[in-house]
Amino acid sequence: MNFENLMPRGIHRMRYLAIFLFLACASTFASGPCDIYATGGTPCVAAHSTVRALYGSYAGNLYQVRRSSDNTMKDIPVLTPGGVAKSAVQDAFCTSTCVITKVYDQSANGNFMEYQGAGSSITGSAAPAVATTEKFKLAGENVYSLYIKPGNTYWRDGSKSGVPTGAAPEGMYMVTSGKHFNGGCCFDYGNSETTRKADAAGAMDAIYFGSSCWFNTTASYKCTTGSGPWVQADLEWGLFASNSSTTWNPKTVSMTSTYVTAMLKNNGTTRMALKGGNAQSGGLSTFWDGALPYSKMVKQGAIVLGSGGDCCRVGGGVNQSEGTFYEGAMVAGYPTDAVDSAVQANIAAAGYGSATTEVSFKRSLPSGERILRTVQDRIRLENGISEVAVYSLGGKLLGRGTFGKGEISLRADLGIQEGIHLVRVRSVVQP
């Protein structure tokens, strides 16, 4: 369709063009981690979160809860496309104790996570996590974490739905907490056995986060960098901070931030990398980037969340670990360091733990947009005609307008109240 034919002729033509272009972009939200991975050529094969969308366009459900009083289920959606969880739905529904029965896959692969216990389609010895244990602020909105305690765990067989198997390369990340952990085996997120048994060295490829010093029975292996929690790789038959089972990696540091980004990537044959950072600010630290401890990976392609791979089928024991899961994704291929950094920047800009207490404009860089970062109410527009849109970090449009060159007040001109916001400025007509 030729949209120019829909616009009036004459002196106001440019104004209509500006307004039309603004409306066309108003529904476009900031990219999520899985958009970044896709742009880097390593698409998400599974994407899970109870707190926010991991694609800028995702408008579906994040997770499912079950109410104890009548065993009724309820899906918890996003507040807006690309935004945070609409936790008010859970608050209204959970008039008695609720548990999280599923965490939906936001990718197109259908790799949703389900608790490994009675009443689920998986069966097993585990119980679902209570849905209301941790409530916190994300981008100024109330959301709930997946708060894993011993006895809770989630699993999915993704071997036929996109999850890498064998020695195929893959990467993954999760956002967790440095305040809730233990040394039990094993708070994992990533690739695991379809058998739910400890089948072989290299049968797993999962992020581990906790204080377990797995090989400390060896005299030379002492975890000397604090008391944890640490980011390690669960590759089956061991938790690895490097490629060594005899010497601790001194670059592995305790990650004690309230919100922690943990990353693992593995090319399947020669190389893996472990990274971590504060999920509220800053970049990533690389703890290991080098050889694998095994000659090659023999991944089976299941996904585990909250426990080790040999848990928790019927008769297969119970999960001994605990930890917090906010979000995570698995990707096909070996992400570049630049992609890792971009994902971390996206997480840091998401607003973990942020309440609306000050005016602060987060930086984001969608193609073709100029983003302002300031703590002032007034901003200066340098171009002839600019479109200004203000969003909550959860993706909700708060105000918009088209302005000429000069200074504008976000409060007076757009009615924006104090809070943490994303301000997008797009130049429409050059002076």
- Distance, in Å, from the CA atom of 26 to the CA atom of 366, rounded to the nearest integer, reads 13
24 burial level (CB within 10 Å; 0-12, 13-18, 19+) = exposed
- Nearest Cα to Cα of residue 313 among 324, 325, 326, 302: 302
Contact 25, 56 (CB under 8 A): no
Contact 42, 172 (CB under 8 A): no
H/E element, 429: strand 420-429
- Distance, in Å, from the CA atom of 66 to the CA atom of 47, rounded to the nearest integer, reads 21
Q: Which two tokens stand for residue 295?
A: 């000659």
- Please identify which of the residues 205, 310, 340, 387 carries the catalytic annotation: 310
Contact 134, 144 (CB under 8 A): yes
For residue 414, give the 3-state DSSP assignment. Answer: helix
Catalytic: 387? no
- Which residues, in sequence order, are bridge partners of residue 16? none
Give the strands of the sheet with 271-278, arranged side by side.
44-49, 327-332, 170-176, 260-266, 271-278, 285-291
Catalytic: 170? no
Query: What separation in angstroms does the CA of 53 have from each of 61, 81, 106, 168?
Result: 9, 8, 8, 27
- Please identify which of the residues 236, 322, 340, 387 carries the catalytic annotation: 236
Say whether the peptide bond before residue 186 is cis (omega within 30 degrees of 0): yes
- Distance, in Å, from the CA atom of 208 to the CA atom of 264, rounded to the nearest integer, reads 9
Cβ within 8 Å of residue 425, ≥6 positions away = 369, 370, 371, 372, 379, 381, 386, 387, 388
Backbone dihedral angles phi then psi of residue 69, each to the nearest 5 degrees: -65, -35
Say whether the peptide bond before residue 229 is cis (omega within 30 degrees of 0): yes
Beta strands in 4-120 (DSSP E): 44-49, 61-67, 73-77, 98-103, 113-115
What is the signed CA dihedral for 212, 218, 219, 220, rounded to 10 degrees?
Answer: -80
Catalytic sites, residue numbers? 236, 310
